Amino acid sequence: MMTEELFREDSYLKGCNATVIAVADGAVILDRTVFYPMGGGQPGDTGSISWSGGSAAVIDTRYDKDGAICHIVDEGASVPAVGDEVHATLDWERRYKHMRMHTAMHLLGSVLRYGVTGGNISAAKSRLDFDMEDSVDKDAVGAALAALVAADHAVSCRWITDAELDAQPELVRTMSVQPPRGKGKIRLLEIEGVDLQPCGGTHLCSTAEVGHVRIGKVEKKGKRNRRVNIHLDD
Ligand SMILES: [Zn+2]
């Protein structure tokens, strides 16, 4: 059951019309969607689905075990029927914060050039875990981040096939994270002049949109692990 993933090509879409292709256990599956399913450290989207005669709040979006994108609705909520035309609307304010945070995380990873061992994004606070023993100079990192935001670097994504990647080993060398192989194609996220890595998340189109970002607590989570928290200041 394949859903067309509109958010991959245009992360700024706030809603879409779609047809219900399955309904099961508090989950609605559509033929196309703007809702991002939880993955890559980014939470699933929330919002609502409305149809002729009803509407339901979407409290989360997840892939099921077969890879279908499930719009999860509240227990007991009314749901549309298979074949119904619906309109899906994102909680855009929340998602846009995820986009700002996600792009900020790529910038943070380009400032602190250590291996990344974990991460998590939320609208209020995000974190990256670095494989490092050095201490983190919060002021210097904060200033470097602010400079990257102010420089208004273009952000774009493109698909590349495994074969194209094999033909350009220099591309892999320039990536900050090694690409996963074996799926046939890989989505690359490029922040012009700053970062290139495989990523499936939703992003801004320019670093300027990240806005005011502040380095929060730096936690020591073991000898070789520094957890850096960041916040959006607005
Ligand atoms: Zn990303």
Please write the tens of the pLDDT for every residue from 31-54: 999 999 999 899 999 999 999 989
Cα–ligand 1 centroid distance for 227 (angstroms): 18
Q: What is the pLDDT of residue 152?
A: 97
DSSP letter at 60? E
Q: What is the pLDDT of residue 184?
A: 86
Cα–ligand 1 centroid distance for 52 (angstroms): 36
Amino acid at 133: E
Identify residues whose C-beta is under 5 A from ligand 1, the ion.
Answer: 189, 199, 201
Cα–ligand 1 centroid distance for 199 (angstroms): 5
Cα–ligand 1 centroid distance for 66 (angstroms): 23
Cα–ligand 1 centroid distance for 84 (angstroms): 33
Measured distance CA(119)–CA(42) in Å, rounded: 9
Cα–ligand 1 centroid distance for 210 (angstroms): 13
Share of the chain above pLDDT 90, in %: 74
Cα–ligand 1 centroid distance for 103 (angstroms): 6
Measured distance CA(45)–CA(59) in Å, rounded: 8
**pTM for this one?**
0.93
User: Which helix (H) or strand (E) covers residue 6, if one does?
Assistant: helix 6-9
Q: What is the pLDDT of residue 173?
A: 77
Cα–ligand 1 centroid distance for 81 (angstroms): 34
Q: What is the pLDDT of residue 1?
A: 63
Q: Is 175 helix (H, G, I), strand (E, B) or coil?
A: coil
Q: What is the pLDDT of residue 105?
A: 94
Measured distance CA(45)–CA(79) in Å, rounded: 18
Cα–ligand 1 centroid distance for 157 (angstroms): 10
152-44-42 Cα angle (round to 5): 45
Helices and strands per DSSP (H, E), number in the chain? 5, 15
Q: What is the pLDDT of residue 234?
A: 81
Cα–ligand 1 centroid distance for 220 (angstroms): 24
Cβ neighbour number for residue 1 with a 10 Å cutoff: 12
Measured distance CA(140)–CA(152) in Å, rounded: 19
Cα–ligand 1 centroid distance for 229 (angstroms): 17
Beta-bridge mates of residue 24: 27
Q: Which residues of the chain have pLDDT under 70?
A: 1
Cα–ligand 1 centroid distance for 200 (angstroms): 6
